[in-house]
Every structure is written in structure tokens, then in C-alpha cells.
Amino acid sequence: TTVCCSNYEYDSDQDRCLPVCYTPCINGTCVGVNECACTPPLTLYNNTICVPSTCDNCEHGDCMAPNVCRCHKNYLMLNGTCVPVCDNVCVNGKCAAPNECKCNDGYKPDPNDPYNCIPICDPACENGTCVAHNKCICGVGYERTKDYWRCKPTCAGCEYGDCISPNNCVCFNGYDRIDSTCKPKCSSCVNGDCVAPEVCRCHEGYELVGGHCSPICSPPCVNGKCVSPNNCSCNDGYNSRDFGVCEPYCSKNCINGHCSAPDFCTCNDGYVHDETEYSLCVKPCIRPCKNGHCSPSSGECFCDIDFEYDNDTQSCIPMKPVPCEDCEGKCDNVTKECRCLNARPCHFNSEDMEVPAEVVASDEVKMAGMNMTLMAIGGACLLLLILVVVVMQRLWHKRNDYTATKPTHENSGLGSVVYTVPNTLISQRASGGPMDEDSGDDDETTDGLIRRNTQLS
């Protein structure tokens, strides 16, 4: 008797042990333990039955009849095809086998979620999020560069600096952060605009001189300083005359010259400065003029008081006293005349001193002047005398308008006749008598006195 191994049984016809298919192998042959094999054109379905192979597309299924396919477990017939079934939807991928997702190109499995495929950005996004294959979305405060994968921080007013983080700008060398903007620095740019480090662009009316914006005055300032466009400030000692021209000022008018500098006169041709007065230009002395002064107009020398010109020394020398005959006064060395204390005439004593001709001529001129003075005085006296006579004559005529007599009353005193003009108070010259005792109601006017004298007579 033959004993077969487990899962095998003895076949007497073939006198051998054959495998056992515990599920019958319909239309097929059990060729191994639970293994069924079909004879063409049949095909194995569900590993237990052999069916005709007339299904066009029955992958992951069994063709049960011509064009009748039955999908295997965890597969679903979709559009005539058995497709795998996944418990959850595959994101950015597809269900390639039961509960197994296959990611689309450019995506990779999410290590935290088997049903999710995350995008791949190569290179990786900087300061952003990869939302699709090689597609980055920048975070808040960042913006995309020309490179799709790079996001750079944004800073307002950082044209001349590096934005190292959102709204954090580091200015380049030569720039300062002013009012949220990187502005160029200039050592000096008054009256101009600093357009680049140490590059100043001057405003209108100014020009760059020595690294500074200086005002322009046209025409240029003369004896002054250009303090603003076309505005000159004169130097000390100068006054503005015409536009851009400052003239020197002299506190005194220059005589025979012109003011060429503050309180300094430049003499005209042929003139020189006076030794004591800067504003006076005089003609130089033709000859030396010590102890004298030159005439500003002629240049002649005039000696000082008590000096006379000496031709030999060509200078002014002290005058010698001039003796006078019959003079109780003294001689004036300047006028060469005797100043007498009495009314007697005086003249030079020619025996004691030789008088120069020019002195004699001077005396004659002075005597002529004295005679003219005496004549003027005499004429004035004559006119005064005539005036007195005329006044007396007028008074004489007025006297005829009045009557004056000597008093005859017995007891009256002797009095003098008094004349006066009407209505003028007078003093009576009579001594005693009735006039002194009885004045009555008469007043002391001229008319009253006349009436009183009439009554007495």
C-alpha cells in the first residue's frame, strides 16, 4: 500500500500520488496543491475555473464569458477596465494598486500622508512655499525675483542699499538712511542737491567752486562779495553804486582828487596830498615852504604869521621888528604898520630900517583903506544930523497947535512954559501957587494944562 504526502492523494489508475485542489478546478487540471491549470483556449479565472479567453481587456479580473470580465478584489470596473481602489483620494497622484498612490511627475510622496503627493521645486524655494512643480509663492514681505524659486525681501526706498529682511534696508557706502530712503552723502552741498556720494548739483543761480555752491553775480562784484544770485554785499568802507559795483567811501569830499579807497583820496595830476588832511590835494610848492603853506590852487608859498619869505634861503624866516617913529604903541610885524595908542599919525622910521618896497605898497593900501573908512563914518554922521533937523522941524510945526502963556495970578508962582504933544502927561515946572492947590477935575493931559493956563490968564 502506497502512503502519499500531505496534500497529496494516491491515484490507482496512475499508480502515483497527485496534488489535491481543495477547491475544485473546474474545466481545468489540478497540477499542484490548490493550483489549477487550464487547457487553451481556456484561461484560469479566480484560480479555480477555466473559462474561454474572449475578453478584450480583463487585467486585474477574470473573463467569465465572452467579454464578461469580473474584477479581482480591491479593483473596480471603470470604463471596461479593472482599476485599483484606494480608501482615500490620491492628491497629486493616482491609485496605482489597491490603497497605493503613485505620485505624478514633479511630485513626491508625503512622508506624513500616504495619499498625498507634495510638489518638488528644484532648487528649493527661498523665503517662499513650493505650491506646484517648480512653482514658488513668496511669503509676506517678500517678492519673486527673475529666478522662479527665489523670493527676496521687500523694503521701501532701498534703491541704494541691500534689503536684508522685510523693511530692513542697509544702505550702500556713501548713503544714509533718511526718511525711509537711502540718500547720498555730500560733505558740503549748501544751495544745491546731493545727487550721488560727494556729487553736488547746484541750484539755479549758483555754480560749483572748490566743492561748494557759490552764488553767481553777473557782472562780478567789484569791491564786494556775491552773497546770493546777483546780490553783492560791499566790503567795509564801500557803498553800492550801480549793479555789482561798490565804490569806496570817503567821509570827507576829496578836493582836487577822487576817492580811490575807503577814506583815501588819490590826487589829480599835478597835485599832492596835504600833510595834515588826507582829503585835501594841493599843488606842490614851486619852492621850499618851511614855516608857511602852499596855495592849493597856485602852489605858491605863503609864510605863517611873523614870518616872511627869504629869496636867499628860499624859506620863510622870522620877521624883524619894524621901528616906528613917534609911536606910543607897537609895530605889527605882520602888517608892517605902527599901532599907535593916540590919534597922532604914525609912519616907518626909514632912517633906522630899510623898508621893503612891497611893505611900503602894503602901507599905502592900508592908508587908503583907512581914509575910506573915515569917509564912510563922516557920511553916516551927516545923515544922522539931517534926520535930527527934520525931526526938530516937525516938532516945531506941531508946537503951533498949542497955546502956552506965563501965569499972571497974584498968588501964583513963577513957572516956565511947557510944550508937549497932545494927550501926553508932562510935569509942571512952576513952584507953588494956586495951581498946586486947586487942580480941580482937570487931568494932567496937554489939553487940560492948556485950559488951566487959559483960566489963569
- In this predicted model, what pLDDT tens digit does every residue of 11-62 receive, in sequence order? 888 889 999 999 999 889 999 999 999 887 787 878 888 877 777 788 898 7
In percent, how much of the chain has pLDDT > 90? Answer: 37
- In this prediction, residue 334 has a pLDDT band, given cuts at 50, 70 and 90, of low
* 260 vs 357, more confident: 260
The b-or-e profile of 49-78 (16+ CB within 10 A means b, else e) is bbbbeebeebebbbbbeeeebbbbebbeee
Give the DSSP letter of residue 280.
Answer: B
Q: What is the pLDDT of residues 354-385, one digit of tens each?
A: 444 333 333 443 444 455 566 778 788 888 88
- In this prediction, residue 245 has a pLDDT band, given cuts at 50, 70 and 90, of confident
pLDDT of residue 279: 87
Cα separation, 105 vs 317, in Å, equals 134
Is the pLDDT assigned to residue 412 strictly greater than 70? no
Cα separation, 336 vs 353, in Å, equals 12
* Mean pLDDT of the 241-258 span: 88
Q: What is the C-alpha R_g of the chain? A: 76
Cα 193–Cα 199–Cα 204 angle in degrees, nearest 5: 40
pLDDT of residue 362: 38
Give the DSSP letter of residue 441.
Answer: T
Is the pLDDT assigned to residue 348 strictly greater than 80? no
Is the pLDDT assigned to residue 271 strictly greater than 70? yes
| Longest CA–CA separation in the chain, Å | 241
* Mean pLDDT of the 64-68 span: 75
* CB atoms inside a 10 Å sphere around CB 187: 10
* Mean pLDDT of the 201-210 span: 94
pLDDT of residue 90: 95
pLDDT of residue 29: 92
* 342 vs 19, more confident: 19
Q: Provide the 3-class DSSP secondary structure of residue 391.
A: helix
Cα separation, 252 vs 8, in Å, equals 154
Cα separation, 276 vs 329, in Å, equals 37
Cα separation, 395 vs 391, in Å, equals 6
Is the pLDDT assigned to residue 285 strictly greater than 50? yes
Q: What is the pLDDT of residues 414-453, one digit of tens each?
A: 333 333 333 333 333 333 333 333 444 444 433 443 344 3
Is the pLDDT assigned to residue 317 strictly greater than 60? yes
Q: What is the pLDDT of residues 72-107, one digit of tens each?
A: 999 999 988 999 999 999 999 999 999 999 999 999
Q: What is the pLDDT of residues 114-130, one digit of tens each?
A: 999 999 998 888 889 99
Report the number of secondary-structure helices (H) and strands (E) in the chain: 3, 42
* CB atoms inside a 10 Å sphere around CB 261: 13
Is the pLDDT assigned to residue 149 strictly greater than 50? yes
Cα separation, 37 vs 28, in Å, equals 5
| DSSP letter for each residue of 189-245 | -TTEEEEETTEEEEPTTEEEETTEEEE--SSPPBSEEEEETTEEEEPTTEEE-STTB
